[in-house]
Structure 1
Amino acid sequence: MKDTPGWASPGSAPSDGQEPGASGPADPADRPDPAQQPGQDPQGSKWSKEQPPPAQWSAPTGPPAPGQTPPPPPPGPGWGNRPPSGPNGPGGYGGYGGGWGSGWGGPPPAAKPGVIPLRPLGVGEILDGAVSTMRTYWRTVLGISLTVAVVTQILVILLEGLVFNDASTEALDDPSATLDELTRAMGDAMLSSGVVFLISLVGTIAATALLTTVTSRAVLGKSVTTGEAWRDARPQVAKLFGLIFLLMLIAFGVVAGGTLPGILVALAGSGDGGAALAVLGGLGAGVVALWLMVRFSLASPALMLEKQGIVKSLSRSTKLVRGSWWRVFGIQLLATIIANVVASIVVIPFTFLAAALSGDGFTGFLNSGGDLGWTFLVVSGIGSVIGAMITFPITAGVTVLLYIDQRIRREALDLELARAAGVQDYGSGTPGPTAGG
């Protein structure tokens, strides 16, 4: 066995530079033998003449031999030197602040009791947290999404099949239609779309209320049943409805205020100028409305999780989004695009299938003038239900995780979350093991 300094334990095997039966480690070659004349090589020694300096190595174990000067201590921590290992040593969790290069991997990983680490999050971590919530607690998440989607889609199918299917919209495609016919057709189309939108909005609000509770518990690594989520969200559901309708009223009021001057100019007799002014005013008002909606986008989780009122939740959202408007807007836009693309992959094939099964084919569906059969409504409704099961958890989960991320960045919410999750010694420099990581 090769006697590499610092590896072999004493007595494990005779080394190449030591006779069998001799006790203690062999003397290194750079230490002169008292009985040896200067310039003579020791007989039988197999040590290389080129040895590392004494400060870079030591004998395997045991005290230094008589007459040998103990080696100096190793140099202090510096760039490239490995510090002592261990969970709490300089190379462990608590030693990454000793200087650049004094540790092995920088700061320790943040505690992760649930679907996200308890630190400021990146875009990918927010999206992954929403998907992980759906994957880990799929029974509760998909159960809530499926129930809400089925109820809302049944109401939409019944209204479209029994009430709005007889509405006359052919006049919109008829160049010879009179003004009264066009007005009546536009009114019917707007009424149908408005009612369907309101039903979908109610379903979205209900799903958001329940999924907010599920996602907030998933951050702590705790599961929650549908019944528990409903009991926790029920006191705030009425306020959530009020918040959503207030936001819709604000957006509508801003857009209407922007287009109103153009409409008044058009009514005064200047049709072209009024139309141009209305378009410009509408575009400017749309930008303002978008800015306000993003600014208030975290009001829903603030209302549900902090048990705040409507006005207070709007104020909280404004405070959390301030200085991060583009980041919040970009993440929510990306999540919406991803959710709708995935949902469209499911919904579009069902739409083609529904058109094929309805008897007239897809061409007949395009030329039906809005007269939809029950087969088409039912089959396309099934696709819409599956699509909603995907979009509800992603959009609601991203909104909740954005809210939590902003509070971690501004209010050190991670300390409170760590205590709630039972993470020991979090924030003291020597965090304990992650729970449920």
Structure 2
Amino acid sequence: MNDTPGWTSPGSASPDGQDGTGVPRPASPADANGSAPQWSKEQPPAGQWQPPTAPAPGIPAPARAQSGTGWGGGPHPQWGPAPAAKPGVIPLRPLTMGEILDGAVTTMRRYWQVVLTISVTVAVISQVADILSQRYLVPGTPKVDADASPAEQLSQTADAVQSTMTGMVPAILIAMIATLVCAALLTVVISRAVLGRPVTIGAAWQEARPRVLPLIGLTLLLAVMSVAISVVAMLPGLLAGSAPLAAAGLLAGVVVVVWLGIRFSLASPALMLERQGIFKAMARSAKLVQGSWWRIFGITILTQLLIFVFSMIVAIPFTMIAMLLSPEGIGGLLSGTSPENSWSFLITTGIGGVIIGAVTYPISAGVTALLYVDQRIRREALDLELARAAGLPGYGG
């Protein structure tokens, strides 16, 4: 039953002799004589009620529903929530995984000059450090003595891996720092892209420059923390001389490192956009991630999987070309001579690495920044502040 004046439900009993329209039913002649009305035995078929929004069978829909206009030529009323405002690359509401990925790609496509300049520069720096490390610091392919015992072969392999990892440490640190600096600059670009405002490289660097040192400190702290957790987890097995126990400890350490990595994954944009210190940014990230760990973990894993697939698509052809251009060629590889330290091999694979970095850095940084924006929209109604900052009507100055 509807309390609106003049409306009752179809077929319901109407008070005071009304017929359901709010208008009194006129009395019949039988009512005037004071006797019960006499109805004919032949009655028309019962009425078939239809929902108000659906036309009766065989009757076309009203013209206003087809033309999109209502009574009097006005706009057709729209049912359901109004679409969210979208001044930039994302709608200002809680985002889906597809919208986060699309926002990162749209930012790269719409502001490609700024984005590619930043990402290509960082990729070149990372690849140069990697090439120099592999050329001068990393030994060649380890040679294991075939006549040695299994324990000696295992020891030789472990020594070779240790030498390789030690030689790659400078390149890894440079790549981590360069990647995070790239993420910082791209975070500034994305923060403007959300509002639909372009930004120049100079303006992005001017805003990001005061935060570079804290970002480097954050990167090193997270790296040292990850290594320390892994070493502590393996320590019981190493002290006991038990390889299975050390492997189990390493696995447990990796689980803890992944959990902490997701928990602090939003520290970089918090440090950049909120001007937080290192530890406050980490605490801010932990607060934003709380209750959404699995969602952020899933989006991060999917993003990294897409990046890995794209990297393999680009890296495999460049690796094959590098082998063909190396002095030993494919035959040298089959004969056991490794071309990995030759200049031709390193430069060719480095070109492929630059292409990979130029595309994947903006995607990775964009997803991280938009995850931060999404979590603040969900928890703190950041969409209202963004709409106000974008100057949308109806949100204040």
Select the residue among 308, 330, 346 that pairs with 1:377. 346
Q: Is residue 307 from structure 1 mapped to residue 275 from structure 2 by the alignment?
A: yes
Q: What do residues 400-430 of structure 1 show as CA deviations (whole Å, max 9, x unaligned)?
A: 0000000000000001111111111049xxx
1:230 corresponding residue in structure 2: 205
2:98 corresponding residue in structure 1: 124
Q: Offset at 1:200?
A: 1.5
Q: Is residue 348 from structure 1 mapped to residue 323 from structure 2 by the alignment?
A: no
Aligned residue type for 1:410: R
Select the residue among 261, 266, 272 that pairs with 1:293. 261
1:109 corresponding residue in structure 2: 83
The 1:230/1:248 distance shift into structure 2, 3 A limit, reads same
The 1:374/1:119 distance shift into structure 2, 3 A limit, reads same
CA RMSD for the aligned pairs?
2.7
Instruction: State the alpha-carbon separation in 2 of the partners of residues 108 and 175 from structure 1.
Output: 75
2:28 corresponding residue in structure 1: none
Q: Offset at 1:176?
A: 3.0
> Could you tell me whether the CA contact under 8 Å between 1:169 and 1:189 is conserved in 2?
no
1:386 corresponding residue in structure 2: 355
Q: Is residue 193 from structure 1 mapped to residue 162 from structure 2 by the alignment?
A: no
Instruction: State the alpha-carbon separation in 1 of the partners of residues 141 and 163 from structure 2.
Output: 7
Aligned residue type for 2:356: G
Q: Is residue 164 from structure 1 mapped to residue 134 from structure 2 by the alignment?
A: no
1:202 corresponding residue in structure 2: 177
Select the residue among 181, 192, 215 that pairs with 1:240. 215
TM-score of the pair, normalised by structure 1: 0.70
Structure 2 gaps, min length 5: 1-46, 56-63
1:317 corresponding residue in structure 2: 285
Aligned residue type for 1:211: L
Q: What do residues 303-348 of structure 1 show as CA deviations (whole Å, max 9, x unaligned)?
A: 0111100000011101100000000000011111112211221121
Q: What do residues 126-181 of structure 1 show as CA deviations (whole Å, max 9, x unaligned)?
A: 000000000000000011001111122123223323x136x355334755396886
What SS does structure 2 have at the residue aligned with 1:104? Answer: coil
Q: What do residues 255-290 of structure 1 show as CA deviations (whole Å, max 9, x unaligned)?
A: 222111111222xxxxxxx22222222222221221
Instruction: State the alpha-carbon separation in 1 of the partners of residues 142 and 226 from structure 2.
Output: 31
> Could you tell me whether the CA contact under 8 Å between 1:340 and 1:391 is conserved in 2?
no
Aligned residue type for 2:82: P
Instruction: State the alpha-carbon separation in 2 of the partners of residues 217 and 174 from structure 1.
Output: 60
1:405 corresponding residue in structure 2: 374
What SS does structure 2 have at the residue aligned with 1:171? Answer: coil
> Could you tell me whether the CA contact under 8 Å between 2:186 and 2:362 is conserved in 1?
yes
> Could you tell me whether the CA contact under 8 Å between 2:323 and 2:339 is conserved in 1?
no
Instruction: State the alpha-carbon separation in 2 of the partners of residues 91 and 246 from structure 1.
Output: 58
> Could you tell me whether the CA contact under 8 Å between 2:218 and 2:278 is conserved in 1?
yes
Query: Higher helix proportion, which one?
Result: 2
Q: What do residues 209-252 of structure 1 show as CA deviations (whole Å, max 9, x unaligned)?
A: 11111111110101111111111101011101111111112222
> Could you tell me whether the CA contact under 8 Å between 1:343 and 1:390 is conserved in 2?
no
TM-score of the pair, normalised by structure 2: 0.77
> Could you tell me whether the CA contact under 8 Å between 1:212 and 1:396 is conserved in 2?
yes
> Could you tell me whether the CA contact under 8 Å between 2:332 and 2:338 is conserved in 1?
no
Instruction: State the alpha-carbon separation in 2 of the partners of residues 339 and 294 from structure 1.
Output: 17
> Could you tell me whether the CA contact under 8 Å between 1:168 and 1:185 is conserved in 2?
no
Instruction: State the alpha-carbon separation in 2 of the partners of residues 105 and 193 from structure 1.
Output: 60
Greater C-alpha radius of gyration: 1
Overall identity of the aligned pairs, in %: 51
Select the residue among 139, 148, 152 that pairs with 2:122. 148
Instruction: State the alpha-carbon separation in 2 of the partners of residues 137 and 400 from structure 1.
Output: 16
Instruction: State the alpha-carbon separation in 2 of the partners of residues 345 and 173 from structure 1.
Output: 35
Aligned residue type for 1:123: M
Select the residue among 259, 262, 273 that pairs with 2:234. 259
The 1:184/1:245 distance shift into structure 2, 3 A limit, reads same
Q: Offset at 1:183?
A: 6.4
Instruction: State the alpha-carbon separation in 2 of the partners of residues 256 and 391 from structure 1.
Output: 30
What SS does structure 2 have at the residue aligned with 1:109? Answer: coil
Q: Offset at 1:80?
A: 5.9
Aligned residue type for 2:376: R
Aligned residue type for 2:111: Y
Aligned residue type for 1:238: L
